[in-house]
C-alpha cells in the first residue's frame, strides 16, 4: 500500500514530514511517497537511517504557501507538492494523500482532483477531540461554512462510520451540536437536521450543548463547518490561554515553582492527552480517495499517526462503507417522508 | 435608585439572592426590591444583619422552574417573581431587573413586558469573558439563534457602548467572530456584516478567529446567538474538563499532591480570573429598561456585582446611548449605501 505525503506542507516542512515518513515506513508496513522538492527531501532523508525502507521521492517543482488562496492554487500551482500528491491518488498510484500544509489548499485540491463520492453532497473534515471518557469526533470543522440540513445529515453518517472503523467504537452515539438539550432547541438548520437524524437508523442521542462536548457523552458531534471551526479554535485558544496564565502565576513565586516541578508529570500526561500529535490528523471524509489534513504544527510523530489512520481507512474500506450507508440512509429517509401523513 | 431582584431564580435561591441583596444594599447605595415568596424571603433575610438597610420585599405567588418554556411562562406565570420584577421596571418602580433563574424566561419576560427600544431590531445578551489582556465582551450569546446582517451590526453597536461605559474601555475594538482573518473569510452572514462594520464609525478590526477570543485582541466580539452560546458553553465545558483531568492526575501521587498544595495560590488566582461571580451577569442589551441575566450558579457576590452593573448602566445612560448610536449608525450606513456607485 502506497501513501503520498506532501513533503513541503507544514510549519516544519520538509523536516517533520520526512521524519514522519521514516517512522511510518519503518513501523507501519506501508510504502511512502514523499512529494516535493527532490533535493530538499534528499537532504532531509540523509539525516535519518533510511536505507532499505520503502520510501521514494516524487519531485514537484512548486510549493503552496500557508496563506495562499485555494483558488490561486487551482489556477497556478498544478506542479505543487500537494497537487501532485493528490494526483497520485487520483491515478491510483497511492491510496491516500496526507498534508500538514495550507488546509484550504489541501481541501480544494482533494475536491477538485478527487471530487466527492457518488451520493455525497459535501465532503467534511472530521477531527478527533480528547474528552473525559476518551475520544470523540467533531464533524465538520471547516470544509462547509453554509450548510443545508441534508449536508449535516450526511456528516453524521460519515462521522459514525469513521468513529466505528477508526476509533473502534461499536455503535457510535451521535449528537447534534445545539444550544439546548430539548428537541425544540436550536436554529432553523439544526431543527431540520434533528428530525432527519431522529428518523434515521443512526444511534442519535439528540442535541448536545457546547458544555457537553468534552464530557464525551456523544462519540460523534455534528455541526456545520463554521460552528465546528469556531468550536475547535476557541478550544485551542482557551487551552493556550489557561497554560499561559498558569505559567505566569507559577514563575511568580519560588513555592509555586517547586509545586510546578512536582506536578510536572501530571501536566505532561495532560498535554499528551490533548496533543493533536497523538491523533492522526483530520480526514476529509466523502471525497473519492483518502485525504488527511494535519495540523500545521505537526511533528514527525503526528505525521506517522496520520499515515496509520490513512492505512486503517484503506484497509477497513471506510469510503465503501460511507457510500453504501449514504445510499441506504437516503432511501430510508425518503421512504419515510413518502409514507408520512400529509398535513 | 431601586433595583428589582428575582429572589426565587437560581440554583441557590432565595438564599444566594438575598445574600447578594444585603451586600448590595449595604455597599452600593441602591434600594433593593426582593421579588418572590414573602415568607421565604423574610426567613432568609432574618439570617442577615439587614436592619436599616434599604431593602424591601414585593410578594409574588409563583415561581418559574429552571426548565419551564418561555412560552408557558408568558401564558401561565404572570404572578411569578421574574414577571413581577420585570413589571416593576415597566411601571418605573425600579430601574433594573436582575435574575439568576431560567434564562429563557428572563429573556422572554423582558422582551414581552419591556420590549425592544425604538430602532433596536433584536436585543442581545452580552457576556464578559476573561482574556490574557483583561476582559472582552461576547455578544450575542443566546438571545437570537437565526440572525440577519443588520442584527449583528446592531450587536456591535450595543456591545461597544457597553464595553466603553461599563468596562471603561475608551474606544473598544470590535471583532467579528469568523473562521479566518482575511476579509473574504466567513459564511454568508458574516461576509455581509463585515461590509457593514467596515462602513461604520465603529473601531472595527476585522474578523477574529476562535483562537483569538481569549487573547484579548478585540474588546467586543460579535456573533449570532447560536455561535455565541456554543462558544461560551464549550469554553465552560473545556475549563471544567481540564480541571477534572488535572485533579485526577494530582490525587494519583503524593508528589503531585504536594505540588498542588504549593501551587494552590496560583490556581485560586486563576479561578478568580475566570470566575463568573467576578463579573456582573450578562445584560440583555436593547430592551427598553435594564435586564440582567445571571448564571444559575450565582453566589451572593455575583448578584451584588450584577447590581453594580445595573446601577452603572443606569447612571451612565447606556440605553439612551444605544438608542442615539443606533439611529446615527443606521443613518450613516443607509446614506453610504445610497451614495455608492451602482453596479
d(CA B34, CA B14): 9
Which distant-in-sequence residues (6+ apart) come within 8 Å of A52 by Cβ?
A: none
ipTM of the complex: 0.88
CB–CB of B86/B109 below 8 Å? yes
Residue B276's pLDDT is 58
Is B229 in Cβ contact with A214 (below 8 Å)? no
Cα–Cα distance for residue pair A307/A22, rounded to 1 Å = 11
Grid cell at residue A239: 487551552
Check whether B173 has a pLDDT greater than 70. Answer: yes
Evaluate whether B229 touches B142 at the Cβ level (below 8 Å): yes
Q: Chain A: residue nearest B70 by CA?
A: A185
Return the C-alpha cell found at B141.
450569546
- pLDDT tier at B343, thresholds 50, 70, 90: very low
Condensed to tens digits (0 to 9), the pLDDT of residues B283-336 reads: 999 999 999 999 888 999 999 999 999 999 999 999 999 999 999 887 776 666
Query: CA of B10, closest CA in chain A: separation in Å?
Result: 18
The better pLDDT of the pair B80, B69 is held by B80
Contact at 8 Å (CB) between A122 and A322? Answer: no
β-partners of residue B318 are none
- Would you call A166 exposed, middle or buried from its count of C-beta atoms within 10 A (0-12, 13-18, 19+)? buried
Contacts A266 to B, Cβ<8 Å:
246, 249-250, 252-253, 256, 259
Tell me what the pLDDT averaged over chain A comes to.
Answer: 91
User: What is residue A177's predicted lDDT score, i.e. its pLDDT?
Assistant: 97
Nearest by CB to residue A265, choosing from B177, B230, B256, is B256
Chain B residues in contact with A265 by the CB 8 A cut-off are 249, 253, 255-256
DSSP sequence for A225-269 = HHHHHHHHHHHHHHHHHHHHHHHHHHTT-HHHHHHHHHHHHHHHH
Give the model's confidence band at A342: pLDDT under 50 very low, under 70 low, under 90 confident, else very high: very low
pLDDT over threshold 60, residue A339: no
Residues of chain B neighbouring A235 (CB-CB closer than 8 A): 210, 234, 238
C-alpha distance from residue A108 to each of A46, A123, A140, B28, B306 (Å) = 32, 11, 15, 58, 48
Q: Do B237 and A214 touch (CB under 8 A)?
A: yes
Q: What are the structural domain ranges in chain A?
A: 1-118+286-343, 121-283
Q: Distance from A182 to chain B by nearest Cα, in Å?
A: 10
Is A121-283 in CATH node 1.10.8.350? no
**Is A115:A126 a contact under the CB 8 Å cutoff?**
no
The second-level CATH assignment, the architecture, of A1-118+286-343 is: 3-Layer(aba) Sandwich (3.40)
Terminal Cα-to-Cα distance of chain B (whole angstroms)? 54
Q: What is the pLDDT of residue A19?
A: 97
- Tell me the mean pLDDT in the region A295-311: 94
Q: How confident is the model at residue B183 (pLDDT cuts 50, 70, 90)?
A: confident
Strand partners, A284: A125
At A130-164, the pLDDT tens digits run 898 989 999 999 999 999 999 999 999 999 999 99
| pLDDT recorded at residue A335 | 65
- Please answer yes or no on whether A227 and B230 come within 8 Å at the CB atom: yes
Indicate whether B164 pLDDT > 60.
Answer: yes
Closest by CA to A85, choosing from A3, A13, A25, A4, is A4
Kindly determine whether residue A256 and residue B235, on different chains, have CB atoms separated by under 8 Å.
no
User: Of A66-70, B87-91, B150-154, B252-256, which gets the smallest average pLDDT?
Assistant: B252-256
Nearest to A293, CA basis, from A232, A336, A251? A232
Residue-wise DSSP of A51-83: TTSSEEEEE-SB---TT--HHHHHHH-TTBHHH
pLDDT at position A297: 87
Tell which wins on pLDDT, B192 or A276.
B192
* Over residues A15-43, mean pLDDT: 98
Top-tier CATH class for B1-120+286-316: alpha beta
**Res B57: pLDDT:** 98
CA proximity to B58, closest of B91, B23, B105: B91
Q: Which of B145, B149, B255 to mutate to test the interface with A (most CBs of A within 10 A)?
A: B145
Cell of B83: 414577571
Contact criterion met (CB < 8 Å) for B210 and A225: no
Q: State whether B131 and A241 contact (CB < 8 Å).
A: yes
Model confidence over A68-88: pLDDT tens digits? 999 999 999 999 999 999 999
DSSP-derived secondary structure for B279-319: TT-EEEETBSSEEEE--TT--HHHHHHHHHHHHHHHHTTHH
Return d(Cα B139, Cα B157) in angstroms, integer.
Answer: 10
CB-nearest partner of A263 from B214, B237, B256: B256
In chain B, what residues touch A192 (CB-CB under 8 Å)? none
Cell numbers linked to B82: 421574574
Work out the widest C-alpha separation in chain B, in whole angstroms: 73
> Residue B231 is nearest to which of A230, A244, A261, comparing CB atoms?
A230
A210 to chain B, minimum CA–CA distance in Å?
Answer: 4
Least confident of A210-224, A249-263, B192-206: A249-263
Q: Is the peptide bond before B308 cis (omega within 30 degrees of 0)?
A: no
**Arithmetic mean of pLDDT, B20-43:** 98
CA A148 to chain centroid: 21
Residue B310's pLDDT is 97
Q: Is the pLDDT of residue B272 over 80?
A: no
Alpha-carbon gap, residue B318 to B117, rounded angstroms: 12
Give per-residue pLDDT as tens, A156-200.
999 999 999 999 999 999 999 999 888 888 999 999 999 999 999
Determine the pLDDT at residue B342: 42
CB pair distance less than 8 Å for A269 and B258 = no
Amino acid at each position: 500500500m502506497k501513501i503520498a505525503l506532501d513533503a513541503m506542507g507544514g510549519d516544519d516542512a520538509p523536516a517533520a514530514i520526512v521524519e514522519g515518513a521514516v517512522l511510518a515506513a519503518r513501523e507501519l508496513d506501508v510504502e511512502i511517497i514523499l512529494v516535493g522538492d527532490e533535493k530538499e527531501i534528499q537532504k532531509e532523508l540523509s539525516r535519518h537511517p533510511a536505507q532499505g525502507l520503502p520510501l521514494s521521492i516524487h519531485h514537484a517543482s512548486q510549493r503552496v504557501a500557508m496563506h495562499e488562496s485555494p483558488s490561486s492554487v487551482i489556477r497556478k500551482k498544478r506542479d505543487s507538492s500537494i497537487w501532485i500528491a493528490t494526483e497520485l491518488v487520483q491515478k491510483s498510484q497511492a491510496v491516500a494523500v496526507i498534508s500538514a500544509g495550507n488546509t484550504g489548499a489541501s481541501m480544494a485540491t482533494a475536491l477538485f482532483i478527487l471530487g466527492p463520492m457518488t451520493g455525497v453532497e459535501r465532503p467534511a473534515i472530521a477531527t478527533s477531540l480528547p474528552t473525559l471518557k476518551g475520544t470523540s469526533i467533531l464533524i465538520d470543522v471547516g470544509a462547509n461554512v453554509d450548510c443545508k440540513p441534508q449536508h449535516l445529515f450526511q456528516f453524521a453518517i460519515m462521522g459514525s462510520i469513521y468513529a466505528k472503523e477508526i476509533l473502534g467504537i461499536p455503535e457510535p452515539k451521535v449528537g447534534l451540536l445545539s444550544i439546548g438539550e430539548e428537541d425544540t432547541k436550536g436554529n432553523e438548520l439544526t431543527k431540520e437536521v434533528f428530525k432527519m437524524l431522529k428518523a434515521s437508523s443512526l444511534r442519535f442521542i439528540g442535541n448536545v450543548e457546547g458544555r457537553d462536548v468534552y464530557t464525551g457523552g456523544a462519540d460523534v458531534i455534528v455541526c456545520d463547518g463554521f460552528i465546528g471551526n469556531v468550536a475547535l479554535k476557541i478550544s485551542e485558544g482557551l487551552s493556550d490561554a489557561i497554560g499561559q496564565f498558569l505559567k505566569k502565576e507559577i514563575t511568580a513565586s519560588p513555592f509555586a515553582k517547586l509545586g510546578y516541578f512536582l506536578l510536572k508529570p501530571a501536566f505532561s500526561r495532560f498535554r499528551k492527552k490533548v496533543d493533536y500529535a497523538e491523533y492522526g490528523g483530520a480526514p476529509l471524509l466523502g471525497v473519492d480517495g483518502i485525504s488527511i489534513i494535519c495540523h500545521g504544527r505537526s511533528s514527525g510523530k503526528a505525521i506517522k499517526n496520520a499515515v496509520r489512520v490513512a492505512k486503517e481507512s484503506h484497509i477497513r474500506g471506510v469510503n465503501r462503507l460511507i457510500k453504501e450507508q449514504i445510499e441506504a440512509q437516503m432511501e430510508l429517509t425518503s421512504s419515510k417522508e413518502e409514507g408520512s401523513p400529509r398535513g
